[in-house]
Amino acid sequence: MASFNQPPPIKDIMTDKGGQSTHVWRRWFEGLFKNLATKADLLVPTSENNVVVFDADGNLADSGIDADDVLEPKDVLDTTNEITVTDNGDGTVTISLPDGVTIANLILTALTAEKPVWTDANKKLISQDINLSDVVHTRNAPTSITVNSSDGETGTVADVATFGDGNFYQVEEASAAASFDFEFNFTGITSISRIGLEFYYAGSAGHHVDFEIWNYTTSAWIHLFDLPDGLGFNYRFIDLPVDDADYISAGAAKLRIDHSSGGISSHYIQVRYVAIFN
């Protein structure tokens, strides 16, 4: 005879005392339903609408969980541009983030405020115990240009404010002494960590051009580097190797390009970009 855990073979037939033939499946189902009814009689629910489970003895028991609290796939919904939910059709769902996800007011409590974020070996976001200012420099563009001597100039201060836009500020070289001398003026400077300059000097090897920064303590121009000629556009970064307090006065700072010797009128210099980085 088959057990409740194992249905009987399909071809098995039983005969009752009256000579009536009965398929074993019918007897098996009758016994199964009777067994379930017996177990159900033992169930004393603590609350209506609770989920029923089998206990360790195989008896029906009250789970203590309201059926309305059971999460079903249909209960997990998408949030536009934030979360995508896919019903897998087997009682499970897949939750994913779409490309270009935008989550308003997202707070990552495991990270430290105002610290740079890296990913660890498991691609998990972690905070680094360094200051953001140590790895990110704020760029400051000049607010004006002062030309002390030249044979003419073309452009505006806006032409040197954006790196890579192709614009430039051009100053012509005069044939007299101090052939060109012009300054980039900055405001709102709180510190100076490095200076950037992109330029092209169409001159000759015998002409000396200086790039300098003003020292407010000594009231003197301090040489940073020479500008070579005829090499196409050059981009130079220089870290300020001394105390930056000498080069800032009430937020002001200034840089200068100076050709102090006599020049040739066909020579000129073009500046595409200049910046002070905090």
Which tokens belong to 183? Answer: 């300054």
156, 263: one domain: yes
Domain final position from 117, 134, 151: 134
Q: Is residue 231 part of a domain?
A: yes
Q: Is residue 155 part of a domain?
A: yes
Give the pLDDT score at 101: 66
> Which residue ranges of the chain lie beneath pLDDT 70?
1-47, 71, 73, 100-106, 130-136, 241
- As a whole number of angstroms, the distance between CA 174 and CA 105 comes to 58
Q: Is residue 2 part of a domain?
A: no
Enclosing domain of residue 101:
71-106
93, 221: one domain: no
Give the pLDDT score at 113: 76
Share of the chain above pLDDT 90, in %: 33
146, 26: one domain: no
18, 87: one domain: no
User: Helix, strand or coil for residue 127?
Assistant: strand
Q: Is residue 5 part of a domain?
A: no
Q: Is residue 7 part of a domain?
A: no
Predicted structure pTM score: 0.54
125, 240: one domain: no
Domain final position from 106, 122, 155: 106
Give the pLDDT score at 144: 98
Q: Is residue 3 part of a domain?
A: no
269, 159: one domain: yes
- As a whole number of angstroms, the distance between CA 94 and CA 104 comes to 22
84, 118: one domain: no
Give 102-158 pLDDT, tens digit per residue.
Answer: 666 667 777 777 777 778 788 788 877 766 555 567 889 999 999 999 999 999 999
Residue 244 backbone dihedrals phi, psi, to 5 degrees: -75, -10
Q: Is residue 1 part of a domain?
A: no
41, 163: one domain: no
Domain count, the chain: 4
Q: 176: number of CA atoms within 13 Å, CB side?
A: 5
179, 240: one domain: yes
CA distances from 176 to 80, 152, 258, 264 (A): 69, 13, 14, 8
DSSP 8-class letter at 155:
S
250, 260: one domain: yes
190, 214: one domain: yes
Q: Is residue 93 part of a domain?
A: yes
What CATH number does the domain containing 147 carry? 2.60.120.260
Q: What DSSP element (H or E) covers 35? A: helix 24-41
Domain final position from 106, 124, 151: 106
Give the pLDDT score at 37: 54
Q: 60: number of CA atoms within 13 Å, CB side?
A: 15
52, 124: one domain: no
